[in-house]
Amino acid sequence: MSASRAIGHPGPGAVPGGGARLAALDGVRILAALAVLCYHYLALDSGWGEPAASVFPVASACAAYGWLGVEIFFVVSGFVICMSAWGRGVGEFAASRISRLFPAYWAAVLFTAGVLFAWPEVRGVKAFSDVVVNLSMLQGGMKVPHIDDAYWTLFVELKFYALFALVVVRGVTYRNCVVFCTVWTVAGVVAPTADSGVLSFFAIPTFSPYFIAGIAFYLMRRFGPNAVLWGIAGLQFVLAQSYVQGRMISNLGRGVAAHTPVWPAHAVIACGFLVMAGIALGAFDRVRWRWLGHAGAVTYPLYLIHMMAGLTFIHHFRREVRPVPLVLGVTAFMVVLAWIVHRLIERPLGRRLRAGLRRAVHDIRRMSAQPPAVPAVPAQAPSPGAERVRTVRR
Q: Could you give the CA distance from residue 147 to residue 135 in angstroms, rounded to a whole number?
A: 10
In three state form, how does the secondary structure of 41-101 look? HHHCCCCCCCCHHHHCCCHHHHHCCCCHHHHHHHHHHHHHHHHHHCCCCHHHHHHHHHHHH
For the cut 90, the answer to whether the pLDDT of residue 386 exceeds it is: no
Give exposure, 296-325, as e/b (b: 16+ Cβ within 10 Å). bbbbbbbbbbbbbbbbbbbbbebeebebee
* 236-267 pLDDT tens trace: 999 999 999 999 999 999 988 999 999 999 99
Contact 111, 309 (CB under 8 A): yes
- Mean pLDDT of the 373-377 span: 62
What is the four-CA torsion angle of 240, 263, 227, 159, rounded to 10 degrees?
-20
Q: What is the CA radius of gyration of the chain?
A: 26
Which residue, 268, 226, 353, 345, is CA-closest to 75?
Answer: 268
Q: Which amino acid is at 214?
A: G
pLDDT band at 273 (very low <50, low <70, confident <90, very high): very high
Contact 245, 263 (CB under 8 A): no
Q: Could you give the CA distance from residue 183 to residue 176 in angstroms, rounded to a whole number?
A: 10
- The dihedrals phi and psi of 216, each to the nearest 5 degrees, come to -60, -40
pLDDT at position 379 is 59
For the cut 70, the answer to whether the pLDDT of residue 20 exceeds it is: no
- The dihedrals phi and psi of 233, each to the nearest 5 degrees, come to -65, -40
Long-range contacts of 27-30 (CB under 8 A, 24+ apart): 27/287, 27/292, 27/296, 28/72, 28/76, 28/272, 28/275, 28/276, 28/279, 29/4, 29/73, 29/76, 29/296, 29/299, 30/292, 30/295, 30/296, 30/299
Greater confidence, 26 or 393? 26
* 88-143 pLDDT tens trace: 999 999 999 999 999 999 999 999 999 999 999 999 998 999 999 999 999 988 98
Per the prediction, the chain carries an average pLDDT of 89
pLDDT band at 382 (very low <50, low <70, confident <90, very high): low
Q: Could you give the CA distance from residue 18 to residue 5 in angstroms, rounded to a whole number?
A: 12
Domain ranges of the chain: 23-366
pLDDT at position 192 is 87
Whole-model pTM: value is: 0.87
* 306-333 pLDDT tens trace: 999 999 999 999 999 999 999 999 999 9
Contact 276, 214 (CB under 8 A): yes
Q: Could you give the CA distance from residue 263 to residue 246 in angstroms, rounded to a whole number?
A: 13
